[in-house]
Amino acid sequence: MYKIVNKRVLNPTVTEMDIEAPLVANKAKAGQFIILRVDEEGERIPLTIAGSNKKEGTVKIIFQVVGSTTEKLNHKNAGDSIQDFVGPLGVATHIDGLKNVCVVGGGVGCAIAWPVAKALHENGTKVTSIVGFRNKDLVILEDEFKACSDNLIVMTDDGSYAREGNVTIPLKEMLDAGEKFDMIITIGPVIMMKFVTLTAKPFNVPVTVSMNPIMIDGTGMCGGCRLTLNQDGKKVTKFACVDGPDFNGYEVDFDEAMSRGRMYFDFERKKHEETCNLFKKEVGGNK
């Protein structure tokens, strides 16, 4: 069993937890993920490592409540335990040798973008962070990004906080102005990563995308995170969990990835509703 040391609500649908897992904390790097089970009957889900503390032996995870398992996990509190916590898994984000990097995060993807920005900053890299959210109420980790960014730009779709618009607007402005990034690293909704890649392409700036959002099983066995890459004119199949989660954005077939991701939307929504109803019944029965 793995103890929940700390729990913090970041916004109405996103929660941060620190899990006591010293072996994982000792080896964890930015860009990697873990697989957990809430209880013996639970499904296995992959979650990105949002940070680790070797001294305390804890691993930070940040998750959005979208399905049955994340709903169950969100009902746990500091002092409670979860059944399984395995990792670190996946290939760590490449940061060595990079001098000037733009990190672009969207929504809950900022939970993955932040540890990457932090690792780059600690490595002596100049970091520009652009983070986007639908509205003010969904903004997360702003102070954390400020602490590890030479320049931070916050965007909201509706203009309710900071600057109005999507993340590609300031990115294009900087590229148009002659900013020479060694790399753009983008993490968020697949459609956002697609348009970040398209924005960077005319400027020939390398783009790394994290295909974490399409992972399901986390071991390569389910095939749900299967990706089609276009490498030197040939289509190549890779798996986000075992071959990534980071990939060259110019090679990824984003439309195929988005189409596959939509296949599970109705199922996740149904299971989430069933779990919510179960918790409501349990609470009602205890009154």
Strands (E), 178-255: 183-187, 207-210, 226-231, 234-239, 246-248
Q: What pTM was estimated for this model as a whole?
A: 0.86
Phi, psi of 33 (to 5 degrees): -140, 170
Residues 19 and 55 in one domain: yes
Res 33 pLDDT > 70 = yes
Residues of the chain above pLDDT 90, percent: 70
Q: What is the pLDDT of residues 121-143, one digit of tens each?
A: 999 999 999 999 999 999 999 99
Q: What is the pLDDT of residues 44-77, one digit of tens each?
A: 888 989 999 999 999 999 999 988 889 999 999 9
Q: What is the pLDDT of residues 96-115, one digit of tens each?
A: 999 999 999 999 999 999 99
Last residue in a domain, options 39, 66, 89 = 89
Position 239 scores a pLDDT of 82
Does 253 map to a domain? no
Domain of residue 74, residue span:
2-89
Overall number of domains in the chain: 2
Residues 79 and 106 in one domain: no
- Provide the pairing of β-strand 226-231 with 234-239: antiparallel
User: Model confidence at 271, in pLDDT bands (50, 70, 90)?
Assistant: very low
Last residue in a domain, options 210, 235, 267 = 210
CB 148 within 8 A of CB 118: yes
In this structure, is the dihedral angle defined by the CA atoms of residues 42, 43, 49 and 52, taken in order, positive or negative?
positive
Neighbours of 239 (CB within 10 A): 22
User: Model confidence at 281, in pLDDT bands (50, 70, 90)?
Assistant: low
Neighbours of 132 (CB within 10 A): 28
> The domain that contains 107 carries what CATH number?
3.40.50.80
